[in-house]
Structure 1
Amino acid sequence: MRFIPVKTPFFIGWFFPKYIWKKPTDKNSIYLTFDDGPTPEITPWILDDLKKYNAKATFFCIGANIEKHPDLFKRIQQEGHVIGNHTQTHVNGWKSSLETYQKETQIAQKNIEAHLINSSNSAKKLFRPPYGRITSPQGKWLIDKGFSIVMWSILTFDWEQKLSKEKCLKKSLKAKSGDIVVFHDSVKASKNLTYVLPLFLKYYTEKGYTIKGL
C-alpha cells in the first residue's frame, strides 16, 4: 500500500484552497461519498444499507457506468442522494492532456444531465478527480466551468486488497464532524465495504451524527 495518510493533513488545504476538503459545520455531520459507480454488483446493496439508517451520500459516478446502468443511476437519485462527476472512463489527470480531461468531463456531464430526475443535482456540478490526481490547468478549467472540485478529509482505503476489513474499519472511524469520507461502490472495494459500511453507519448514528450528501 502506498503511503497516503488516512486523514488529509490540514495544511493541504492551504496549497489547494479552491478545492473542497472538509465542510465546516456546527452540527455533528459527516459527508459520505462513493466513487466509481453505479455498479450493479454493489451499489444496490449500498443503497439498501444507507436506507436502514436514513443516511444520505454523494455518488461520484463514471459516465460510462451511467450509460450501462441508467436504472441504477435513477434509483440513486430517487432515494435522495447527490450526484457528482467522476469523468467518463476514470482517467488519471496526471497522465492526461488538458484537452483529454476536458472531453472526459464534458462527456460524463452530458450523461449525468441526460439521466437526471432531480433538478437540485443539476445545479451542483460536483467533480472528484479519479485517483485524486489533477493538474492545475485541469482544476482551473473545471472551476471556470462552474464545477466544485471535491476532495476528501478521510480516505478509507476500502479498495486495497491487502488491507484487512478490520483495519479498513479502523481507518474509517477516524472521521469527525465536517469530514468528507471516501468509499467506493466498486467490485474491487466490496470485500472491505460490505464489512465496514454497516458498522460505520451504526457507530456514527448511535453517536448522534447526521450522515449526509454534499
Structure 2
Amino acid sequence: MKRELAIGLLFCLSILPVQAAGPASIARVERALWPDGVATVADYNRASRAEALVFVNALNELADRDDATLKTSLRIKSVDRGSVEHLRERVLRRLFENYRIARQSCVPEEVFCAPVESPAALVELGGQLAEQLPARYRPWFAGADAFHRRYAAELLRLAALFPKVSSEIDSFGAHERNGLELADGHFLWTFDDGPTAAGGTTDALLPVLAQQGMHGMFFVLGERLQKRLQKDGRPAVETLYAGQCVALHGWAHESHQKSPGWQASILDTQKLIQDALGTAYRPHFRPPYGQRRADSGPFFVENGLSVALWNIDSQDWNGGLDARQAGERVLTLMLLWRRGVILFHDSHDKAATAIPWVVAQTRGAGLTWEDCRRY
C-alpha cells in the first residue's frame, strides 16, 4: 500500500506546473502604524517617499549577498546573478524617479525630503533613515522595514530564477506590459482565474466595481468561461461583464512556459471570448504564474496580442493574508511604485473587501483608476 501511495505522489509531482519557488513568508504590513494617512496629495507623497527610502535600503542589502547566501536565504537552488543585478538597477532607477516626483510637494522642514541626485544617493539616504527618524515615525518604521525586507526577498527570488523560470519580474520584449508604463498616479485593477459559477465570487465582485465606478480587466480561463456559458447562456454572461473588460488567461491554469499546447490554449480562449463577449474582449494574455516562453514574442504579435503582466501583487490567493491585509499590502506597493497594474483574483473573495478600502484610503490623493477599455 505504501509503495502505491509513493508512486501516486511521484506521479502527481511530475505533472505539476513549473513554478518559481514560493517565498518563505509573504510581506504584510499594518498601515495604521503610518501616522499621517494618505488621503491628500501631500500625505500620499510623504508616505511614498518614506516607503521608497525603506525599500531601497532593504533591496540593496539583500542583493549585495553572494550567490551562496542568496540561495540559502531565498531557498532556491541557483542564482542568475545577471538577472539579480538587472533587477536592482531597474528598481533603483525607478524609485529614484519616484522619489523625485514625490518631493514636488515638499515644504520647508518636511520629513523624508532630503534632495538626492542619483540612485546611489537614494540608497545612501535610505541607509541613514533609521538614525534620523522623528519619534512619531518609529513604530511605523519597524513594521515597514520588516515588510520591505520580505518584499525585496519576493522580488529577488523571482529575479534569481529568471529567465530559467519566467515570471512577471522582467520582460521579454515590447509586446509585454507590466503597469510601469502608466503615468504617475495611474492604476489598473485586474482579476485572474474566473469566472466562478453563478453566485460565486466573480458575481460578488462585479457589483462592487460598479458601485465604485471602476472598470477592471478580467483574465478568464477558457474552460471556466465555457462552463459558465453552457450553464447560464451567453446573454447572462454578457450582462455579468457589462462595462468591464475580458482578456485571456489561457484555457487551463497551467504554466505556458513548457506546455506543448500553449499556443492552442491561447488561441482557443481568444476565440471563445471573441465569439461570446464581443466588445468586452481585449487582446491581452496574462500567463498563469507569469510563465511564458522567451521566444513567444512573434506568436503574440502575429495574433494581435500583448502579454499583460503586473507589478503590484495583492497575494490575495494566499491563506496567510485576510482581505484587509491584502488591501494594506496593495496600498503600500502603490505608494512604492506610484503606478501600475494591480493583481487580484476573482476566484477568491478578498478583492470585494480590499478594493473599497484602498479607494477610501486614497480618496483625495489625486490618483487615477485606469479604465480597462482604454488600457
Regarding TM over 0.5, the answer is yes
CA contact (8 A) 1:38 1:73 kept: no
In 2 relative to 1, CA 201–46 (structure 1 residues): closer, same or farther, beyond 3 Å? farther
* 1:179 equivalent in structure 2: 340
Q: Which amino acid aligns with 2:343?
A: V
Query: Quick check: 47-56 or 69-78, which moved more?
Result: 69-78
Q: Using the TM superposition, give the Cα deviation of residue 181 of structure 1 relative to its aligned residue in structure 2, in angstroms.
A: 0.4
Structural mapping, 1:1-214, within 5 Å:
2-3=22-23, 10=90, 12-13=169-170, 16-22=173-179, 24-26=181-183, 28-39=185-196, 40=198, 41-70=200-229, 71=234, 73-78=237-242, 80-97=243-260, 100-118=261-279, 121-122=280-281, 124-173=282-331, 174-175=333-334, 176-186=337-347, 189-190=348-349, 192-211=350-369, 212-213=371-372, 214=375
* Amino acid across the alignment from 2:22: R
Query: Take 2:244 and 2:327, find their aligned partners in 1: how far apart are those partners?
Result: 23
Is the deviation greater in 34-43 or in 63-72?
A: 63-72
Q: Which moved more, 1:45-54 or 1:65-74?
A: 65-74
Count residues in correspondence.
204
Distance 1:16 1:157, change over 3 A: farther
Q: Secondary structure at the match of 2:226?
A: helix
Query: CA 1:143–1:205 in 2, change beyond 3 Å: closer, same or farther?
Result: farther
Query: Per-residue displacement from partner, 1:25-60 (whole Å, max 9, x unpaired)?
Result: 446321110011111311121111111110111011
Q: Structure 1 unaligned segments of length 5 or more: list them.
A: none
Evaluate the alpha carbon distance shift between residue 116 and residue 15 of structure 1 in structure 2; reply closer, same or farther with a 3 A threshold: closer
After superposition, the Cα gap between the structure-2 partners of 1:92 and 1:169, relative to the gap in structure 1 and judged at 3 Å, is same
Shifted more, 42-51 versus 194-203: the winner is 194-203
- Relative to total residues, which structure has the larger helix share, 1 or 2? 2
Extract unaligned runs of 5+ from structure 2. Answer: 1-20, 28-54, 56-86, 92-168
Q: Deviations over 1:92-120 (max 9, x none)?
A: 123412xx0011111111110111242xx
Whether the aligned pair in 2 keeps the contact of 1:37 and 1:59 (CA below 8 Å) is yes
Tell me by how many angstroms 1:89 deviates: 1.4
Counting aligned pairs with the same residue, the percent is 24
> Separation in 2 of the partners of 1:147 and 1:37?
20
**Alpha-carbon distance between aligned partners in 2 of 1:20 and 1:48, rounded to the nearest angstrom:** 28
Provide closer, same or farther for how the CA distance between residues 206 and 55 of structure 1 changes in structure 2, counting only shifts above 3 A: farther
Is the Cα–Cα contact under 8 Å of residues 60 and 127 in structure 1 kept in the other structure?
Answer: yes
Residue aligned with 2:176, SS: coil
Residues 49-98 of structure 1: CA distance to partner in whole angstroms, max 9, x if unpaired?
A: 111110111011111122122355413442x112211111122123412x
Q: Decide whether aligned partners of structure 1 residues 204 and 75 sit closer, same or farther in structure 2, where only a CA change above 3 A counts.
A: farther
Question: Which portions of structure 1, spanning 4 or more consecutive aligned residues, are displaced by more than 6 angstroms?
Answer: 4-7
Distance 1:18 1:55 in 2: 26
Amino acid at match of 1:83: V
Kept in 1: contact 2:326–2:354 (CA 8 A): yes
Larger Rg: 2
Deviation at 1:201, TM superposition (A): 2.9
CA distance in 2, matches of 1:45, 1:201: 18
Higher relative contact order (CA 8 A, sep 6+): 1
- TM-score, scaled relative to structure 1: 0.82
Residue 57 and residue 163 in structure 1: after superposition, are their counterparts in 2 closer, same or farther (change >3 A)?
same
Q: Which residue of 1 aligns with 2:119?
A: none
CA distance in structure 2 between the partners assigned to 1:162 and 1:143 by the alignment: 38
For 1:171, the aligned partner's letter is: R
The answer on whether the counterparts of 1:91 and 1:101 sit within 8 Å (CA) in structure 2 is no
RMSD over aligned CA atoms reads 2.7
